[in-house]
Structure formats: structure tokens, C-alpha cells
């Protein structure tokens, strides 16, 4: 049996290409399919009034891959000889390769507004996230107080 062996770097390149293609495809799907279907919810009908919830959807993903290999060269010959002399059970020169990869993703959704369709007409009611507003207000207040305190601390002359 004469099976042709591919090098680890070729395998890695193929794997990376496949991964990039998968990520790109996922992102294409996210923009193509999820855009309107994820943003606008299913209409809820109740007593002549139809409510359509809306939300914003944020999705991020990333992937990384790395590899390394060691092949003995002429420069490393003394090291090889030393090793061979010490360890007779493994006379083969040291060589090897390794690779690793990792990826991650994040998805976030937040209600934005509600579309209300009634016999009187169509209107959009915004959804206020009080927690986010309170956090933003506290951050702003903290920044202002910090800046004032820093200015007061500095000597005036």
C-alpha cells in the first residue's frame, strides 16, 4: 500500500481555509436570513390589535489557528549527536510539529420598540431600558465628579 502522506502544514492550511469558509458562510446567513426575521418578532394578535416586537441583534465571532514545527538542520548537528550518544534507544533525530486553534462567539439581543397596529392606526412605542440608562447616567456622573475632584486637587498659583 503506497499512501501519499500530506505535510502537516498543508493539512493545517486546508483546515484553516475550511474554517474561514464556514465562518464566512455563517456570517452571510446571519446577515441574509436573520436580519429581518430576528429583528422583527412574530405578530401577536389580541382583540383587534396586532403587536410586533422589534429587537436589535448583535453577533460577533472569531477564530485563530497556529502551528509550529521543528526539523533538525545542519546547525543543530552537534545537539543531535549529543542526544544520540546519550540516548541509544532513540537514535532518530528529534523532529515534530504541533498545531492548535480556538474560536469564540458572542450574541446579544435587546428589545428596541413595539409596533402597534390598531383600528385607529399604526404607531411605534419605544422600549426604554432603564438599567442601561441608569448605568450610563452613573458613568457620566462619575466622570464629571472625578474630573472636578482632579481640578480641585491641583494647586492654583
| Residues in contact with other proteins by the rule CB under 8 A | 16, 19-20, 23-24, 27, 30-31, 34-40, 43, 45, 48, 50, 52, 54-65, 103, 110, 112-113, 115, 117, 119, 122-124, 126-129, 132-133, 136-137, 139-140, 143-144, 147-148, 151, 156-157
What's the grid cell of residue 60? 460577533
What's the grid cell of residue 6? 500530506
Among the listed residues 123, 118, 115, the one whose alpha carbon sits nearest the alpha carbon of residue 51: 115
Residue 14 CB, shortest distance to other proteins, in Å, is: 14
Among the listed residues 154, 129, 137, 122, the one whose alpha carbon sits nearest the alpha carbon of residue 56: 129
CB nearer to other proteins: give 7 or 107. Answer: 107
* Distance between CA atoms of residues 28 and 120, nearest Å: 39
The helix/strand/coil state of 71 is: coil
CB nearer to other proteins: give 63 or 80. Answer: 63
CB nearer to other proteins: give 61 or 79. Answer: 61
Residue 8 CB, shortest distance to other proteins, in Å, is: 19
Amino acid at each position: 500500500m503506497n499512501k501519499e502522506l500530506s505535510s502537516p502544514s498543508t493539512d493545517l492550511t486546508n483546515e484553516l481555509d475550511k474554517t474561514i469558509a464556514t465562518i464566512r458562510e455563517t456570517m452571510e446567513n446571519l446577515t441574509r436570513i436573520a436580519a429581518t426575521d430576528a429583528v422583527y418578532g412574530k405578530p401577536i394578535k389580541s382583540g383587534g390589535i396586532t403587536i410586533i416586537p422589534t429587537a436589535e441583534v448583535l453577533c460577533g465571532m472569531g477564530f485563530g489557528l497556529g502551528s509550529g514545527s521543528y526539523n533538525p538542520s545542519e546547525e543543530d548537528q552537534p545537539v543531535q549527536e549529543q542526544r544520540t550518544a546519550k540516548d541509544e534507544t532513540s537514535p532518530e533525530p528529534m523532529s515534530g510539529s504541533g498545531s492548535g486553534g480556538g474560536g469564540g462567539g458572542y450574541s446579544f439581543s435587546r428589545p428596541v420598540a413595539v409596533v402597534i397596529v390598531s383600528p385607529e392606526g399604526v404607531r411605534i412605542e419605544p422600549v426604554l431600558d432603564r438599567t442601561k440608562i441608569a448605568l450610563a447616567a452613573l458613568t457620566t456622573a462619575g466622570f464629571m465628579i472625578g474630573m472636578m475632584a482632579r481640578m480641585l486637587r491641583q494647586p492654583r498659583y
